[in-house]
Amino acid sequence: MKQWAKDRVVYQIYPRSFQDSNGDGIGDLPGILQRLPELKDLGVGIIWLSPVYPSPNADNGYDISDYCAINPEYGTMQDMEALLEKARELDIRILMDLVINHTSDEHPWFQKSRAREAGYEDYYIWRPARPDGGLPNNWTSFFAQDCWEYDQVRGEYYLHLFAKKQPDLNYANPRVLQEVEEIMRFWLDKGVAGFRCDVINVLYKTSLEDGEKRPFLRGLEHYLTQPGNHEILQKLHKDVLSQYDCFTVGETVFVTPKQGRELTDEARGELDTVFSFEHMEADQYLVKWLKRKFSVRRFGAALEKWQNALEWNTNYLENHDQPRSVSRFADDGAYWEQSAKMLCTMLLSLRGTPFIYQGEEIGMTNFDYSSIDQLDDVESKNVDALLREKHLPQWLRWKIIRPTSRDNARTPMQWDASANAGFTTGTPWLAVNRNYRRINVEAQRNDPFSVRSYYKEMIRIRSLSQTLRYGSFKLLEATGRLLVYERKYEGRHALVLLNFSARKVRAGYAGQVVIASSGRENYDGVLLPYEGIILNEGVKI
Ligand code: ISL
Ligand code: CA
């Protein structure tokens, strides 16, 4: 793995919601370009762009209809080149989102495949109905549906692990892999620095037999991290990735530490790093719809396991699929500011490359909508439909969907206190959170005590400290409220003390304060509500 990818901080941009430049209510590439200096100022060294390719937007760009072009809603290829150029000037590298498990059903490959055009028949996973007329198998999708859709043109069903407008590609067909290699070369040759690889451990379907009985994701055992998947990644690495100065992070659903180690083993040559999900279960049972109370103990246990499982981690608390961290793991009310800074202290002091999601650096919160009608997300809508089928009343459906919906993180970026938070002069595609007059970049930019300034300072401190970047990780405490860990490097160490509660907590350590989210310069053994502190050469007392 490249050293630059270890030393830099990544910032994820969800283009649709970042910055609109032409008043159509949709964020775009010129909008991003305009904001690059802002990100540079924050200390960002890498940007991950969620998909910007042409797409019918059944899943906001994760359903791609042309991999080597730019969605006209977002601009042109010239805009993309200008963005790369400006980023180069500022020494910011750009990662593209590589979504290759599925395409849009409007992609020309799918159009040709459904028409059985020569050479394209097997680009997707087609099956006839069962003799009894039933679906080809009993699998269920990630988005709360079955996995098969009947296509009138072809007279067969196609497999889709996600929405029905996202047919899965057939990786048993070597032509598909060649196409993917060409796409990767196209972008790397344009100067991108690598890829965030969407659901990259479900590409290869070993068999299409019925899945074991289970309430969700039936069929998973036939496609999760299969040997055939490892082979695909090795080939992409050998043929393409190894030829460039680039970095990859695989979004690997339900990944175990052992699989994570295999996927990132340099000797095997597959991926540089993976996103794991276990810490996201600190407030849920396996799937996000089954919420439980956030537990520091569970959170700490997941961190301890993953921080030590892999040679190098990627750390995140938010992305475009997850609710806002300050609303989820801490307090977005009375202790909003303390909470956001405490979470920042953690994110930037873990071992691995930190990923900040747009708006996280100003403490953006979950949306404040009052009904499902205000949502856009296909996943939320499918879940609502499923729960309705099961006769759940509306209030209960909303209770389940509201804290979990992916739209919580997709509300437009809050830039300033003007109309629509400075995101657009038109009507935003998704409503802006009403707290934008209080929570926005402009209000925080020049305030040395703001959440954003704290992020900036933490990024700076991390960049100066080998201990925080490369040190080993050791969990010292993960109790009801308190999370404490040690980072150690070449005989030096730092202690990170985090209070996940609205009460003062005794944490008996002493040392020199490197940074405290409260701004204080001395530590007296008691953490303030939602306070985060890093102590240099700290000791237990
Ligand atoms: O969001 C999730 C659960 O609610 C995840 O299961 C998510 O579907 C999974 O992490 C895969 O996510 C990625 O691929 C999807 C896309 O919708 C997500 O936005 C993307 O991050 C299909 O491309
Ligand atoms: Ca626009």
Residue 423 Cα to ligand 2 middle (Å): 10
- Percentage of residues in the chain having pLDDT higher than 90: 97
Pocket probe mutation, ligand 1, options 62, 103, 159, 249, max atoms within 8 Å of Cβ? 62
Any ligand 1 atom below 6 A from CB of 142? yes
Answer yes or no: is pLDDT of 77 > 90.
Answer: yes
Answer yes or no: is pLDDT of 287 > 90.
Answer: no
Residue 329: inside a domain: yes
Answer yes or no: is pLDDT of 497 > 90.
Answer: yes
pLDDT of 142: 95
Pocket probe mutation, ligand 1, options 63, 201, 321, max atoms within 8 Å of Cβ? 321
User: In 10 A of CB 443, how many CB atoms?
Assistant: 19
Any ligand 1 atom below 6 A from CB of 379? yes
**450 and 474 inside one domain:** no
Task: Give the whole-angstrom CA distance, residue 273 versus residue 2.
Answer: 11
pLDDT in tens, 336-353: 999 999 999 999 999 999
* Beta pairing, strands 247-251 & 156-159: unpaired
Which pair of tokens denotes residue 316?
């995140």
Residue 399: inside a domain: no
Residues 6+ apart with CB under 8 A from 328: 283, 294, 322, 366, 403
Any ligand 1 atom below 6 A from CB of 199? yes
Residue 397: inside a domain: no
pLDDT in tens, 6-56: 999 999 999 999 999 999 999 999 999 999 999 999 999 999 999 999 999
Domain boundary among 122, 151, 168: 168
Query: Chain centroid to CA 381: how far?
Result: 20
**419 and 350 inside one domain:** yes
**58 and 123 inside one domain:** no
Residue 71 Cα to ligand 2 middle (Å): 11
pLDDT confidence bin for 419, thresholds 50/70/90: very high
Any ligand 1 atom below 6 A from CB of 62? yes
Which atom of ligand 1 approaches the CA of 163 most closely? 22
Cβ atoms of 184 and 197 closer than 8 Å:
no
Instruction: Report which bound ligand comes closest to the CA of 168.
Output: 1
Q: Whose C-alpha lies nearest to ligand 1, atom 11?
A: 199
pLDDT of 15: 98
Domain boundary among 147, 168, 189: 168
Domain with 313 in it:
3-101+174-369+412-455
Residue 388 carries which side chain, given as an amino acid letter?
Answer: R
Residue 525: inside a domain: yes
Any ligand 1 atom below 6 A from CB of 198? yes
Residue 388: inside a domain: no
Task: Give the whole-angstrom CA distance, residue 428 versus residue 441.
Answer: 18
**76 and 123 inside one domain:** no
Residue whose C-alpha is closest to residue 102's, from 51, 146, 166: 166
Which atom of ligand 1 approaches the CA of 162 most closely? 22
Which pair of tokens denotes residue 339?
């909470």
Which atom of ligand 1 approaches the CA of 143 most closely? 8
Q: Of these residues, 79, 251, 283, 318, which one is catalytic?
A: 251
Residue 393 Cα to ligand 2 middle (Å): 38
Any ligand 1 atom below 6 A from CB of 253? yes
Residue 313: inside a domain: yes
Residue 336: inside a domain: yes
pLDDT in tens, 118-148: 999 999 999 999 999 999 999 999 998 899 9
**182 and 291 inside one domain:** yes
**483 and 336 inside one domain:** no
pLDDT confidence bin for 80, thresholds 50/70/90: very high
**354 and 494 inside one domain:** no
pLDDT confidence bin for 114, thresholds 50/70/90: very high
Pocket probe mutation, ligand 1, options 16, 196, 199, max atoms within 8 Å of Cβ? 199
**483 and 530 inside one domain:** yes
Cβ atoms of 521 and 511 closer than 8 Å:
no
Q: Whose C-alpha lies nearest to ligand 1, atom 19?
A: 321
Task: Give the whole-angstrom CA distance, residue 350 versus residue 487.
Answer: 8
**Whole-prediction pTM value?**
0.98
pLDDT confidence bin for 189, thresholds 50/70/90: very high
Q: Give the pLDDT mean for 153-157.
A: 98
Half-sphere exposure (Cβ direction) of 123: Cα atoms closer than 13 Å? 25
Domain boundary among 455, 487, 515: 455
pLDDT confidence bin for 288, thresholds 50/70/90: confident
Instruction: Collect residues with CB below 5 Å from ion ligand 2.
Output: 20, 22, 24, 26, 28
Residue 284 Cα to ligand 2 middle (Å): 36
Residue 73: inside a domain: yes
What are the CB-based long-range contacts (under 8 Å, 24+) for 289-298?
Answer: 289/383, 289/400, 289/404, 291/400, 291/403, 291/404, 294/328, 294/329, 294/500, 296/478, 296/479, 296/480, 296/481, 296/482, 296/483, 296/500, 297/478, 297/479, 297/480
Instruction: Report which bound ligand comes closest to the CA of 104.
Output: 1
pLDDT of 434: 97
pLDDT in tens, 311-344: 999 999 999 999 999 999 999 999 999 999 999 9
Answer yes or no: is pLDDT of 289 > 90.
Answer: no
CATH number of the structural domain spanning residue 277: 3.20.20.80
Residue 320 Cα to ligand 1 middle (Å): 9
CATH number of the structural domain spanning residue 498: 2.60.40.1180
CATH number of the structural domain spanning residue 136: 3.90.400.10
The total number of structural domains that make up the chain? 3
Q: What's the per-residue H, E or C state across 143-203?
A: CCCECEEEECCCCEEEECCCCCCCCEECCCCHHHHHHHHHHHHHHHHHCCCEEEECCCCCC
pLDDT of 88: 98
Residue 507 Cα to ligand 1 middle (Å): 38
Residue 256 Cα to ligand 1 middle (Å): 18
**179 and 318 inside one domain:** yes
Q: Give the pLDDT mean for 349-372.
A: 98
Residue 251 Cα to ligand 1 middle (Å): 9
Residue whose C-alpha is closest to residue 401's, from 429, 430, 372, 378: 372
**451 and 502 inside one domain:** no
251 as an active site residue: the answer is: yes
Which atom of ligand 1 approaches the CA of 379 most closely? 4
**87 and 225 inside one domain:** yes
210 as an active site residue: the answer is: no
Instruction: Report which bound ligand comes closest to the CA of 28.
Output: 2
Which atom of ligand 1 approaches the CA of 277 most closely? 10
Which pair of tokens denotes residue 422?
């400075």
Mean pLDDT score of the chain: 97
pLDDT of 459: 98
Q: Of these residues, 156, 198, 272, 377, which one is catalytic?
A: 198
In the three-class reduction of DSSP (H, G, I as helix; E, B as strand; rest coil), residue 312 is classed as coil
Residue 428 Cα to ligand 2 middle (Å): 9
pLDDT confidence bin for 215, thresholds 50/70/90: confident
Q: Whose C-alpha lies nearest to ligand 1, atom 5?
A: 321
Which atom of ligand 1 approaches the CA of 322 most closely? 1
Instruction: Report which bound ligand comes closest to the CA of 200.
Output: 1
**12 and 139 inside one domain:** no
